[in-house]
Structure 1
Amino acid sequence: MNDRELRTAALSDVVARARSFLFVPGDRPHVVAKAIATDADVVIVDLEDSVPPENKSTARAALDRNAGTERPTIIRANQITAAVGQQDLQALPRTTVVMVPKATPESVDALRRAYPSISAVALIESAEGVAECDYIAAQPNVLRLAFGHLDLAAELGIDPDDDMALLWARSRLVYTSARRHLPAPIDGITANLTAVGKLGSDTRRAKRLGYGGKLLIHPSQIAPVHAGFAPTRSELDWAHQVLREAGRGVSAVDGVMVDEPVLRRAHNIVASTETGMP
């Protein structure tokens, strides 16, 4: 591999394992710099919702400043199939990963045709995206799925905080990711920064459903999300016991049979603490 290919592969690996994805508006360089200085696993430089139309060109012009920083960064483009999205793609550093907003078969196909070397995080935030997420996840340029529940809830006319109303859609991304051998998907943002316990409960729900990461809108959310996705002490104790006893040829731990799926789960729990990312 040449240097560019190595950098691209390294970024793709981080994106695949990351727990925290911090949005930052691309037209505010000082805010981008502060985000890069945080402990977020990945910073998402946003060209879409947080950037007003008159500042889009300014945000694009600043993209190269973020290339090569120590903090992994990816770019959320505008709608890929629209003219503004095409302008975003033309300005992208070629070692980046693109978050495709309102992902559809048409938009991921358009990205792959125009820039086959650029990988994507597909943001599923529409009824069409949910319905077509299996096709989207199967595309070779898609690294991971993410769930944009606010836009989806608005389209469906439901409360975005209604867990039951969105349970099927959330779970569909988990099952689709597993079927297509993608990493666990990324859950949507917690928009309320002041409600006590809201971020923690959202993160616990995401982990329980099988998500592996979360989209963030403020640096204060990073540490709680990392803690929320980390194995609990009881989970770690159980995993170490399973691996220890299995190494001795024991076929059951606490009365539960130790077979291949149990061993795989134990290995995954221990590995997540060793790498720093699940």
Structure 2
Amino acid sequence: MPVAPSAKGTVPFGEHRTWYRVTGTPGSGLPTLVAVHGGPGSTHDYLVGLAVLAEAGWPVVHYDQLGNGGSTHLPDADPGFWTPALFLDELDNLLRHLGVDDDYVLFGQSWGGLLVAEHASRRPAGLRGLVVANAPASYPLWLSEMRVLRERLPPGVDDTLRAHEEAGTTDSQEYFDAMMVFYNRHVCTLQPWPREFLATFMEIYNDPTVYYAMNGPSEFHVIGSLRDWGVIDGLPDIDVPTLVVSGRHDEATPATVRPYVDLIPDVRWEIFENSSHTPHLEEPERFIAVMTEFLKSLE
């Protein structure tokens, strides 16, 4: 049985609140694993399975980034409010408030992978290890590879997507249906989608403020403020052991992941052959085994 959450609540972040949950007991011997979800504008729900690592002694922190889930929603904020710096500050704030900033491991998935890499490049004293899961090293790389993946979709699908993108009708049902063809190939291949993944997906669409401002209307049509952002320049400065994770059918293709492997000094890369963007859901047993092996290696 999973370890019961030992704490759940919110911490102040400026005028706002960040929701969190801690599974296990930080400070009990092993570093705390802090899970940084994707999006941006997603929620922690699809990463809840990481809590099982608390059974083996690694406390696990989940949180919802500002703008969605249990954290403060700001639907009227100016799009310029939402920046990587904001979310890096939120992460630092959470680590301090929870008292885990002296002994922790970061797990960042998708957009969260770029965040944790940027955080790690600043060499915080308490960081013991890093997991970058299914994350591109830059959005220009991501967009380049999206063109490749879109060209491989069934005949007519990309034509439909492009027609709606050019017309500004990406909120139409036809665009959504065509988008799902891509998502079922490269985001999550399980059918039906697991409940925790569907919960996160619906949270984004219930309040798409952050996702639309920073990303855009879909995973592969990035027209928001992140379109030119990346973390490549800081990767050589990461000085902790790093595990890079990706799926064979991942929208984060090998070309987008390669800079992490080439530039981080102490790194290993694990590719999940039967997964796309969510190996922790698509191959959960192997995923937890890989994570456990990596966390043990930090001891």
TM-score in same-fold range (> 0.5):
no
TM-score bracket, normalised by the shorter chain, equals: 0.3 to 0.5
Higher helix residue share: 1
TM-score, length-normalised on structure 2?
A: 0.34
Relative contact order higher in (CA < 8 Å, ≥ 6 apart)? 2
TM-score normalised by length of structure 1: 0.36
